[in-house]
Chain A
Amino acid sequence: MSGALLGSYQPGGTWLHRLPASAKLWGLLVLGVVVVAVRGPVSTMLFLAGALGLVAWSGAGLRLFLGALRGILVVVVLLGAYQAWQHGWPRAVESVGDLVALVLLATVLTVTTRIDEVLDAITRGLHPFARLGVDPEKVALAFSLMLRAIPTTIEIADQTRDAAVARGLQRSLRARLTPVVIRVVAHARATGDALHARGIGDDA
């Protein structure tokens, strides 16, 4: 599962693959704003249909996208239940639908775009801000590390859950959460060491 969530480039020759990364990033930004700004379950269903259309167009296979959605399943269920309880079904459909549409759109971006291209696009886009002290290379790298951290964190959570179950501690929140926090922090430190060792921060 972990490898399926964001950051899984799938080679292909579709128009979506050929579109420049910067155009796709801007597109995702604009669509993200529109999906959140336009209210109502009907518009949500239209956004979902559009997102599914792009999923099909990307040619990456439905299984990969289902894997990405499985990663947010718990959030979707809790969010939907809460919204239905507090505000009724239309609001629940809207909230969950918008979230699913956004995840699908983000996944379309990552399956049709190499992270290297995304980094280059972000770096180019941020160059005007270099005068203000913004380091485009570092921002781009941080973006990539964030994407890379998602499957890693899920993998750690999966392993910790298995370890807790193996020890008969499946109901212990402490046994399931504490090791995750410790290991995620340890992983972050190790990643920092690795970046330092590779001299990556030196060139930024």
Chain B
Amino acid sequence: MSTIEIEEVTVRLPTADEDLLVLDRTSLRLTERRVALIGPNGSGKSTLARLLNGLVTATTGRVVVDGLDVAKQGREVRRRVGFAFTDPAAQLVMPTAVEDVALSLRRLHKDKRERQRAALAVLDAYGLTGLGDRSVHSLSGGQRQLLALAGVLATDPSILVADEPTTLLDLGNSRRIADLLFSLEQQLVLVTHDLDLAARCDRALLVHDGRVVFDGPADEAVATYRAMA
């Protein structure tokens, strides 16, 4: 399992008036296979997740993934850390499903035919058989999220960070995506408002006002959050 180390990280974002403190002197060491980040909107949990892939840069402190400093070795880190967003529409950048997966595979497969075969195999593996030539616009919400995950997982990262991947989905698709996430070999860092989903994790962090206010077993974190709300 990978090791994620967050060392005294503070994140401030510039605003019109003054810098906004989003995450305050946070230190963590994540080695569990499934880690949930829960908390209210605007609490800083997405910022915490985005630090792991270099999408957000720490104002002070540092983030280290498997010994690699995210700020200094971003390219290597991004090969290890896949990131799935809430809205797959922004993540799917190519017109058709197979082309989007193929885009992820350009680094691994230089030969076009080989890349095409590999992309189709990825679609098959994630239950998207037959949808390769479909426009990503014509896919259902669940299919789009599944495709977005397939595009990320195609390069076999060792960590998957998923930022509210089920928020926009109906119950059936939400379950489908959740089952997929929890069947993965990869280490999973899951930002979620679905407390049932969070409770299935090995560890959960409750984030509030830019601080981790509870860190421990998922069921206890969920109970603490419910008591707070």
Q: Interface on A for B, CB 8 Å cutoff?
A: 2-3, 7-11, 110, 114-117, 120, 137, 144-145, 147-148, 151-152, 155, 187, 190-191, 193-200, 202-203
Contacts and interface: CB of A to CB of B under 8 A. Distances in A.
Given A196-B54, A196-B55, A197-B55, A147 B95 contact: yes
Contacts of A9: 95-96, 99, 133
A2 B93 contact: no
A197 B83 contact: yes
A31 B47 CA distance: 50
B151 A2 contact: no
Contact of B87 (A8, A147, A190): A190
**B interface SS class:** helix
Given A148-B94, A155-B137, 15 more contacts: A9-B133, A114-B96, A115-B94, A116-B94, A116-B98, A144-B103, A151-B137, A152-B89, A191-B93, A194-B91, A196-B54, A196-B55, A199-B79, A199-B107, A202-B74
Contacts, number: 96
B85 A116 contact: no
Given A115-B95, A116-B116, A151-B137, A197 B53 contact: yes
A199 B89 contact: no
Contact of B78 (A115, A144, A152, A202): A202
Interface of B: 53-55, 74-75, 78-79, 82-83, 85, 87, 89-91, 93-96, 98-99, 102-104, 106-107, 112, 115-116, 133, 135, 137-138, 151-152, 155
Contacts of A8: 95, 135
Contacts of A114: 96, 98-99
B156 to A, nearest CB: 13
Nearest to B107: A203
B112 A117 contact: yes
29 contacts: A7-B95, A8-B95, A8-B135, A110-B95, A114-B96, A115-B95, A115-B99, A116-B94, A116-B99, A116-B115, A116-B116, A117-B112, A144-B93, A144-B94, A144-B95, A151-B135, A152-B137, A187-B89, A190-B87, A191-B93, A194-B85, A196-B54, A197-B53, A198-B83, A198-B91, A198-B104, A198-B151, A200-B106, A202-B74
